[in-house]
């Protein structure tokens, strides 16, 4: 579609990718390949909405081991995105689970998808995402 736009003279300088990950074992290889394909067209790529949903209990709390697996998923996305210099930004859907959309759309079976919990405390995903981010992006 982007190639077609360019061939027809429609100005397009970048593409935003939304990554609402419903699984902790998400394969980021296709994301990296897509970013590479888009940047080869001369486009800038941004991850514009990133969250990694977790299974939660009836109180909306995730299991501790899932929080670590979520951190690993965030780190994989950062690595896949930033291995290509054409990807110049990664943004999460929000920053706190308190206002996340995931719970209402999953009927309470998933949630806790962001970097800070409902009490605004950083989760392991916060540190994992920073670990591989360039120093000037922190």
- In this prediction, residue 132 carries a pLDDT of 72
If pLDDT is split at 50, 70 and 90, which confidence band does 23 have? Answer: confident
Stated pTM of the model: 0.88
**Which of the following CATH numbers is that of domain 2-132: 3.30.450.90, 3.30.200.20, 3.30.420.130, 3.20.20.80?**
3.20.20.80
- Which among 32, 113, 118 has a CA at the least distance from the CA of 70? 113
To which H or E segment does residue 110 belong? strand 110-111
Q: How far apart are CA 124 and CA 126, in angstroms?
A: 5
Q: How far apart are CA 123 and CA 117, in angstroms?
A: 6
| Six-digit token string for 127 | 């540190």
- pLDDT tens-digit profile of 89-118? 999 999 999 999 998 888 888 999 999 999
Q: Write out the DSSP string of 14-65.
A: EEEEEEEE--TT---HHHHHHHHHHHHTT-EEEEEEEEE-EE--TTSPPPHH
- pLDDT tens-digit profile of 34-82? 999 999 999 999 999 999 999 999 888 999 999 999 999 999 999 999 8
Q: Of 133 and 32, which is predicted with more confidence?
A: 32
Are the C-beta atoms of residues 12 and 39 closer than 8 Å to each other?
no
User: What is the mean pLDDT of the segment spanning 1-28?
Assistant: 92
What residue segments make up the domains of the chain, in order of their start?
Answer: 2-132
């Amino acid at each position: 579609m982007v190639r077609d736009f360019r061939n027809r003279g429609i100005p397009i300088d970048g593409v935003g990718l939304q990554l609402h990950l419903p699984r902790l074992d998400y394969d980021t290889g296709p994301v990296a390949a897509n970013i590479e394909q888009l940047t080869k067209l001369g486009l800038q790529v941004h991850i514009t909405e990133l969250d990694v949903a977790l299974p939660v209990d009836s109180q909306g709390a995730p299991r501790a081991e899932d929080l670590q697996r979520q951190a690993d998923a965030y780190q994989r996305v950062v690595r896949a995105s930033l291995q290509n210099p054409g990807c110049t930004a990664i943004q999460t859907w929000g920053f706190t689970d308190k206002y996340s959309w995931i719970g209402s759309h999953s009927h309470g079976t998933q949630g806790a998808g962001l970097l800070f919990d409902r009490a605004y405390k950083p989760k392991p995903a916060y540190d994992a995402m920073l670990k591989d981010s360039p120093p000037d992006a922190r």
